[in-house]
């Protein structure tokens, strides 16, 4: 770097080199080689004019030359130089000028002191700026406003409000610029209203830029009505006014009103600016107005704004949202290497929204290769493409770039891990987020709901409340979904419902839909129906929840009634709807109806059958014993049958004792999921039930060789908010003796009622007497016996079993419900059974 020894100012300040700044204000070369300037303008125009007209570099050059010439430096010269330093962000030169101010005792002058405050604040040296302000013996409204604006610019809104109050305590009357600044800092409507009152008293409401600040403040506070009142009351509206009020309407979701106001703006003859184009194009995104987007694009070309980066990015987003990806990519490509992180992120997001995951992933990789560094929006966006890109890869990049503590990136990461079922990594990410918002808490709760951990969800919910976070509708939806799991207590779901009522969210669509599902899974069809009927509005999720509820509980006809009611509403149906409908037909034995609905789904609603829908159809035929038709359906599928389909067929072969087809289904299932114990167990059971003990032994041997463990059957019952679990022949419960005594009593009464054990359900080659003993000690019978002795007479019992209830237990539970006068609800791995007065809701078709 060249020395600048001839510079008297630097010599005075003992600075050996002239500062070089990132803004290029003054360089050593500029000092040793005089810049080419209009000499007449230099000699004839004062320093103040340079700063007023934005010639900040030249102002500093002139300042140095004035000082070098020996001409006395006045306060106005110092103020002008400091203003140039503030505009250029040149802290080093500014401090040098400050030293000169001190030497000449000019820092005590109001104008110079104010310029120093402004320079330090704009350079980010907040403490230095405040110290200069505190040392000023006299301060006027401009001084106070400079300090207030400085705090705003450095993100210290609370401090700026303190300054605003302080200046009034000292009797300084705010000017319009003060009010504009304090309104920009204020995010609370209450304080903004107070400032508005003062503005009216002082007569500043007619000042255009003050009105613009009021409009912006009210819009950001969600008070659209107040912002419109200010707008309509303004006599002098400029393009900023129009853009501000339209942007405020868009921000608060009043898209149609914003569009009307834009039309009115055109009729008023207001010249369209770059910001208004960007705002209205974003409005088109919300309204999916492709036609208006194209019109605005033409206007952009006519007005010469086609190279504005914000407008181009807005057009990329608009075309992407309207599924015009070719136009979006064309606009993106036309930026000719000028794409920044915003435009790259917009293009990646567009591909993802249109289901182009591979293209989005390719763009993300290309973006990095071209040296564009992703920001937190980019990472949050690409993490939604987790099926094509691993969250572990993105997590590594996030840690390198320092975004791991960002709320948006952290939340996106934990959602990606939750979707993969990786709750350990999700929990680690969640704990690392610095400023957790309600979205992060809700996402974590949704993760616990997904893995069926109600205790974890409840503990997290309590922690959230202790932290002072107020749950929203999505939080309640997540905690209610967690309460729907088989391991959750009945009371937990009721308490969550009560909390949602207290907080005013019980009628929110996502909450009420979650309540329908929760009550359905907890066995309370009546409560599910009540919540459903109370809904003031319903989306497809609500309807699907109710259809599924009736289907799973065996009320097929009611499920179809709800479906017909849904169909009359004109909502577009989806595959989930038809899964519920076909399941309802399956459990009610309505085979032909189910087939007709399946055909209508394809022909009338253009819904392509998924693997799950085919599994439902296979189940429909199989339960009715029409196994050959089920096999024909599998052969006619447009893609290879998956494990769900073969497992469904194999289960039906067990019920109908079709060894040949069961062997085929078992082999297919074992090849697809060699570690799934259900495949081996079901095939083994078919061989056992048909007396093929050698074949059964071979299957068991294969299980041993592959170290596949059979899932142990458990049953749960909740009594007094405590869950009691049992497995077959279990004697670990503290009340075990009383339980077995009750079982013995029940066995005597069952035989008196004509019960004869069906030993075909015991899949062991043992004596019949031993088979009867095994049947009598099944886990669901132990749970029922405990429920009978632990609850008052007449209390309904609800049992949850992780496996399918066997046929003999089904018969026994019907008889017990009649003998004991109890309603007994059993939720097994397949469906709900409501036993009452000796009959079951399944109608013996299960």
pLDDT at 769: 58
Main-chain dihedrals φ then ψ at residue 545, nearest 5 degrees: -60, -45
Query: How much is the pLDDT for 396?
Result: 86
CA gap 443, 474 in Å, rounded: 9
Q: Which residues contact 439 (CB under 8 A, 6 or more apart)?
A: 407, 411, 474
Give backbone dihedrals phi and psi of 827, rounded to 5 degrees, phi first.
-105, 105
Nearest alpha-carbon partner for 552 in 512, 520, 526, 574: 520
Which residue carries 């003998």 as its tokens?
819
Which residue from 462, 463, 395, 397 is spatially nearest to 429, judged by alpha carbons? 395
CA distance 725 to 718: 9
> What is the mean pLDDT for each group of 10 consecutive residues in the chain (846 residues)?
36 35 35 38 59 82 81 82 85 84 77 87 85 86 85 78 80 80 64 73 79 86 87 89 91 89 88 86 84 88 82 86 84 80 88 86 88 89 78 85 84 88 89 87 90 88 91 92 80 89 90 91 89 90 92 90 92 93 91 95 93 94 92 93 92 87 91 88 83 86 87 89 89 94 93 83 55 82 95 93 88 94 90 90 75
Question: Is the domain 609-711 a CATH 1.25.40.10 member?
Answer: yes
Predicted pLDDT at 36: 40
Q: For residue 330, what are its two tokens?
A: 């064309």
pTM: 0.65
SS3 723: strand
708: phi then psi, degrees, rounded to nearest 5 = -95, 125
Residues 6+ away with beta carbon under 8 Å from 203: none
Yes or no: say if 665 and 643 are a contact pair by the CB < 8 Å rule: no
Identify which of 302, 372, 311 has the alpha carbon closest to the alpha carbon of residue 344. Answer: 372
Longest dimension (CA), the chain: 124
* Cα(231)–Cα(315) distance, integer angstroms: 28
Closest-CA residue to 244 (of 260, 224, 268):
224
Backbone angles phi, psi at 164, to 5 degrees: -60, -40
CATH 1.25.40.10 residue ranges in the chain? Answer: 609-711
Determine the Cα–Cα distance for residues 34 and 55; give it in Å rounded to an integer: 16
Q: Residue 725's beta-bridge partner residues?
A: 716
- Exposed e or buried b per residue across 374-392, where buried means at least 16 C-beta atoms within 10 angstroms of its C-beta: bbbbbbbbbbbbbeebebe
Q: Give the pLDDT of residue 791.
A: 95
Phi, psi torsion values for 262, nearest 5 degrees: -65, -40
Q: List b or e across 727-765, with b for residues whose CB sees 16 or more CB atoms inside 10 angstroms.
A: ebebeebeeeeebbebbeebbeebeeeebebbbebbbee
Instruction: Return the number of other C-beta atoms located less than 10 Å from residue 662's C-beta.
Output: 26
Distance CA 500, CA 85 (A): 57
H or E stretch at 41: helix 39-44
Q: Quick one: which of 754, 760, 736, 728 has its CA closest to 838?
A: 754
Cβ atoms of 730 and 782 within 8 Å: the answer is yes
Write down the pLDDT at residue 61.
Answer: 83
CA distances from residue 644 to 393, 805, 828 in whole angstroms, order as listed: 31, 20, 18
């Amino acid at each position: 770097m060249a020395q600048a020894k001839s510079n008297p100012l630097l010599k005075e300040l003992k600075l050996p080199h002239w500062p070089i700044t990132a803004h290029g204000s003054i360089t050593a070369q500029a000092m040793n080689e005089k810049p080419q300037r209009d000499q007449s303008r230099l000699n004839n125009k004062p320093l103040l004019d340079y700063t007023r007209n934005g010639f900040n570099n030249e102002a500093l050059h002139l300042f140095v030359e004035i000082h070098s010439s020996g001409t006395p430096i006045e306060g106005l010269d110092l103020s002008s130089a400091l203003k140039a330093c503030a505009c250029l962000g040149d802290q080093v030169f500014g401090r040098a000028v400050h030293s000169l101010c001190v030497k000449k005792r000019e820092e005590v002058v109001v104008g110079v002191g104010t310029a120093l405050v402004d320079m330090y604040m704009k350079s980010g040296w907040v403490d230095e700026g405040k110290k200069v302000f505190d040392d000023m013996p006299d301060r006027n409204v401009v001084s106070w406003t400079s300090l207030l604006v400085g705090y705003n610019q450095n993100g210290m809104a609370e401090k700026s409000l303190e300054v605003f109050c302080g200046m009034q305590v000292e009797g300084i009357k705010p000017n319009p610029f003060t009010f504009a600044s304090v309104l920009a800092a204020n995010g609370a409507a209450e304080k903004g209203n107070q400032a508005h009152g003062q503005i009216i008293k002082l007569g500043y409401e007619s000042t255009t830029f003050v009105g613009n600040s009021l409009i912006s403040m009210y819009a950001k506070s969600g008070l659209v009505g107040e912002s419109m009142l200010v707008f309509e009351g303004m006599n002098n509206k400029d393009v900023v006014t129009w853009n501000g009020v339209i942007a405020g309407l868009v921000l608060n979701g009043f898209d149609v009103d914003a569009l009307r106001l834009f039309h009115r703006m055109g009729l008023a003859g207001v010249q369209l600016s770059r910001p208004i184009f960007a705002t209205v194009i974003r409005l088109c995104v919300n309204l999916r107005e492709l036609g208006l987007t194209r019109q605005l694009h033409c206007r952009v070309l006519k007005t010469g704004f086609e190279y504005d980066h914000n407008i181009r990015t807005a057009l990329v987003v608009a075309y992407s949202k309207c599924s015009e990806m070719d136009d979006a990519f064309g606009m993106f490509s036309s930026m000719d290497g000028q794409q920044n992180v915003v435009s790259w992120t917009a293009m990646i997001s567009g591909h993802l929204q249109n289901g182009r995951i591979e293209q989005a992933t390719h763009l993300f990789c290309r973006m990095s290769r071209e040296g564009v560094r992703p920001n937190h929006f980019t990472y949050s966006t690409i993490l939604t493409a987790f099926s094509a890109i691993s969250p572990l890869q993105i997590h590594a990049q996030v840690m390198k770039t320092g975004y791991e503590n960002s709320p948006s990136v952290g939340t996106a990461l934990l959602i990606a891990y939750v979707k993969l079922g990786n709750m350990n990594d999700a929990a680690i990410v969640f704990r690392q987020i610095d400023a957790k918002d309600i979205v992060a808490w809700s996402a974590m709760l949704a993760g616990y709901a997904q893995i069926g951990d109600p205790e974890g969800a409840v503990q997290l919910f309590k922690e959230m409340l202790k932290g002072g976070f107020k749950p929203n509708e999505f939080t309640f939806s997540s905690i209610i979904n967690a309460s729907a799991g088989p391991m959750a207590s009945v009371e937990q779901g009721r308490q969550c419902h009560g909390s949602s009522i207290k907080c005013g969210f019980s009628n929110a669509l996502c909450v009420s839909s979650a309540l329908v599902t929760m009550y359905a899974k907890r066995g309370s069809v009546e409560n599910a129906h009540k919540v459903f009927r109370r809904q003031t509005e319903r989306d497809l999720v609500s309807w699907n929840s109710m259809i599924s509820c009736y289907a799973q509980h065996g009320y097929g006809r009611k499920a179809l009634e709800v479906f017909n009611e849904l169909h009359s509403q004109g909502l577009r149906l989806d595959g989930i709807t038809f899964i519920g409908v076909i399941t309802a037909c399956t459990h009610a034995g309505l085979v032909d109806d189910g087939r007709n609905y399946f055909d209508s789904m394809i022909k009338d609603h253009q819904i392509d059958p998924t693997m799950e829908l085919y599994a439902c159809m296979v189940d429909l035929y199989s339960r009715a014993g029409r196994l050959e038709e089920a096999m024909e359906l599998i052969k006619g599928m447009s893609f290879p049958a998956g494990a769900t389909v073969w497992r469904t067929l194999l289960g039906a072969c067990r019920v109908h004792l079709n060894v040949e087809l069961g062997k085929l289904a078992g082999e297919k299932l074992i090849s697809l999921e060699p570690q799934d114990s259900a495949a081996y167990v079901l095939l083994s059971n078919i061989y056992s039930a048909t007396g093929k003990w050698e074949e059964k032994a071979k299957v068991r041997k294969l299980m041993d060789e592959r170290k596949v463990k059979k899932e142990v059957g458990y049953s749960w019952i909740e009594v007094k908010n405590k869950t009691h679990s049992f497995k077959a022949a279990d004697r670990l419960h503290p009340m075990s003796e009383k339980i077995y005594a009750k079982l013995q009593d029940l066995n005597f009464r069952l035989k008196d009622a004509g019960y004869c054990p069906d030993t075909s359900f015991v899949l062991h080659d043992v004596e019949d007497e031993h088979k009867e003993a095994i049947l009598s000690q099944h886990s669901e019978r132990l749970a029922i016996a405990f429920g009978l002795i632990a609850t008052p007479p007449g209390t309904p019992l609800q049992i949850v079993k992780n496996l399918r209830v066997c046929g003999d237990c089904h018969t026994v539970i019907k008889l017990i419900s009649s003998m004991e006068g109890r309603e007994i609800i059993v939720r097994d791995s397949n469906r709900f059974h409501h036993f009452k007065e000796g009959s079951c809701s399944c109608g013996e078709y299960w």
